[in-house]
Structure 1
Amino acid sequence: MDTMRDRFAPVVSQVLDEDPRVAVVLAEIGAADFQETARRHPDRVVNVGIREQLLVGAGAGLALTGMRPVLHTFASFLVERPFEQVKLDLGHQGLGAVLVSAAASFDWPAGGFTHMAPGDVALLDTLDGWTVHVPGHPDEAETLLRHAIAAGDDRVYVRLSLQANRAGHPVDGKRPLTVREGRSGVVVAVGPMLDAVLAATEGLDVSVLYTTTVRPFDTAALRRATASAGTDVVLVEPYLAGTSTAVVNDALADLPHRVLGLGVGRGELRRYGTLEEHVAAHGLDAGSLRERISAFLARRDAVPAAS
């Protein structure tokens, strides 16, 4: 199976051919994949080199002229390093752009902590007006990329990852899907966490919601699910644990409820290892998830918790 990032250059290149308003801005990463496209559209494929602040600033400049810029590099260099430019050049000026990242939380462990970004979604969540897509399969990535580019002048973040579920689902960039129905709680699986969640909850009487769009979070769908499954909610996110617990707490504020936030821990893992070893170390493999979810559901009289 190809990767989500394998879909990025072909999709954006096709859109560049079709829509003269679209431009792509790169910071060296991924530039080789756009060589042919750059020959066709030399004024709309811009490589600023390893200058990530300029990447965002140049995208904002293009947006000021009425263009729809698509900006791409690793997540740590797209959201964290140029955060001031994301905040001011785009947000403060009310400009739209599509930020498309690679490497996710720890997709390239050999790159070290500089190339890891488990806090990217939480950081963007401090800003107003962002849509955040977290596809779980290359087919979903392609669909959500097209949605993002076509989304008028909105600010959209598309988080690509090497982690992927075995099969894609018919996502629409808005509503979550009910994958399994139960009566003893709701487990929300985000993007590439779905397969592990389904394996972890096999035989448990819980509903499983699958979402690839976490901002805005579809709280209405969550409330519908809790109406039949109960208000114990487990969030399984492929980035910083607890990123969406406040959203869920707000959605259920008028109801007695408990929330468990599972995801990437705050502790830095200082060994390179493999992607799979990092998943296991953060307790996001199916076996660890089953233990943590089962223990949470068994403590129905416990104080509401997030971890």
Structure 2
Amino acid sequence: MDTMRDRFAPVVSRMLDEDPRVAVVLAEIGAAGFQEAARRHPERVINVGIREQLMIGTAAGLALTGLRPVVHTFASFLVERPFEQVKLDLGHQDTGAVLVSAAASFDWPAGGFTHMAPGDVAILDTLDGWTVHVPGHPDEAETLLHHAVAAGDDKVYVRLSVQSNRAGRVIDGQHLRTVRGGRSGVVVAVGPMLDAVLDATEGLDVTVLYATTVRPFDAAGLRRATEAAGTDVVLVEPYLAGTSTAAVNEALSDVPHRVLGLGVGRRELRRYGTIEEHVAAHGLDPAALRERIGGFTGAGRAAAAG
């Protein structure tokens, strides 16, 4: 199966052909995928070199002229390194762009901590007005890229990963999707965490919701799910643990509830290893998830008793 990033350049290259507003801004990474598009549209495919701050500033300038810039590099170089420009050139100037990342939290362990960005969504959460998409499959990535580019002049972040669920699902770029029903709690699986959550909760009496758009957070969808399943909520996110707990607390602020945020831990893992080893070390494999989800919701004890 191809990866989300494999889809990125072909999909956006077609957008360049079809929509004269679309522009692409790169900082060397990913440039090879746009060589043909750059020959066809040299004025709308811009590679600024290894200058990530300039990349964001260039995108903001293009947006001020009426274009819809799509900006791409690794998450650590797209959100963390040029954060001041994201905050000022896009946020303060109220200009829109589509930031499309690669490498996710630890997709390239051999690259070391400089190429890891488990805090990217949490960092963007300090700014107002961002839409954040976290696809869990290449088909969903393609869908969400189209949503992002078509979103007027909004500020949108699309988080791509080589980690993927086995199958894509029908998504709309807004709402939580109910994948499994239950009565002993709600588990929100974000993007590529869905398969692990489904494996972990097999036989447990919990509702599983699937999120591929985490900002704005679908508060109404969560509230509907908790009416039947109760207000114990577990978040399983492929980035910094607890990133969306504030969104859940706000959604359920008028009712008693409990929230457990699972995800990537804050401690740096200095033995880089493989993706699978990182997943296990952060407790995001099915066995570890089952223990923590079952223990928190009580569904694990009920399943064992049954």
Relative to the length of structure 1, the TM-score reads 0.97
Q: Distance in 1 between matches of 2:205 and 2:172?
A: 27
Question: Is the deviation greater in 245-254 or in 160-169?
Answer: 245-254
Superposition deviation, residue 272 in structure 1: 1.5
Q: 1:206 corresponds to which letter in structure 2?
A: V
The match for 2:130 is 130
- Give runs of ≥4 in structure 1 deviating > 4 Å: none
Superposition deviation, residue 299 in structure 1: 9.8
Give 3-state SS (helix, strand or coil) of 1:221's partner.
Answer: helix
Q: Distance in 2 between matches of 1:40 and 1:294?
A: 54
Superposition deviation, residue 140 in structure 1: 0.1
The match for 1:84 is 84
Q: 1:145 corresponds to which letter in structure 2?
A: L
1:243 correspondence with 2:253: no
Superposition deviation, residue 298 in structure 1: 2.8
1:270 correspondence with 2:270: yes
Q: Distance in 2 between matches of 1:12 and 1:249?
A: 36
1:14 correspondence with 2:14: yes
Q: Distance in 2 between matches of 1:117 and 1:224?
A: 32
The match for 2:26 is 26
Give 3-state SS (helix, strand or coil) of 1:249's partner.
Answer: helix
Q: Distance in 1 between matches of 2:10 and 2:172?
A: 20
CA RMSD of aligned residues (A): 1.0
Give 3-state SS (helix, strand or coil) of 1:189's partner.
Answer: strand
Aligned 8 A contact 2:184 2:299 in 1: no
Q: Distance in 2 between matches of 1:272 and 1:212?
A: 27
Q: Distance in 2 between matches of 1:274 and 1:143?
A: 29
Report matched runs for 1:1-307 at 5 Å. Answer: 1-298=1-298
The match for 2:303 is none
Q: Distance in 1 between matches of 2:23 and 2:247?
A: 33
Give 3-state SS (helix, strand or coil) of 1:162's partner.
Answer: coil
Superposition deviation, residue 294 in structure 1: 1.0
Give 3-state SS (helix, strand or coil) of 2:293's partner.
Answer: helix
Q: 2:159 corresponds to which letter in structure 1?
A: R
1:157-202 CA distances to partner (integer Å, 9 max, x unpaired)? Answer: 0000000000000111001110000000000000000000000000
Superposition deviation, residue 26 in structure 1: 0.3
Give 3-state SS (helix, strand or coil) of 1:187's partner.
Answer: strand
Superposition deviation, residue 207 in structure 1: 0.3
Q: Distance in 2 between matches of 1:142 and 1:298?
A: 38
Q: 2:237 corresponds to which letter in structure 1?
A: E
**What percentage of residue pairs aligned between the two structures are identical?**
83
1:25-58 CA distances to partner (integer Å, 9 max, x unpaired)? Answer: 0000000110011000000000001100000000
Aligned 8 A contact 2:184 2:298 in 1: no
Give 3-state SS (helix, strand or coil) of 1:202's partner.
Answer: coil
Q: Distance in 1 between matches of 2:25 and 2:283?
A: 36
1:117-168 CA distances to partner (integer Å, 9 max, x unpaired)? Answer: 0000000000000000000000000000011001000000000000000000
Relative to the length of structure 2, the TM-score reads 0.97
The match for 1:303 is none
Give 3-state SS (helix, strand or coil) of 1:123's partner.
Answer: helix
Q: Distance in 1 between matches of 2:127 and 2:26?
A: 23
Question: Is the deviation greater in 244-253 or in 137-146?
Answer: 244-253
Runs (5+) with no aligned partner, structure 2: 301-306
Runs (5+) with no aligned partner, structure 1: 301-307
Q: 2:231 corresponds to which letter in structure 1?
A: T
Aligned 8 A contact 2:100 2:159 in 1: yes
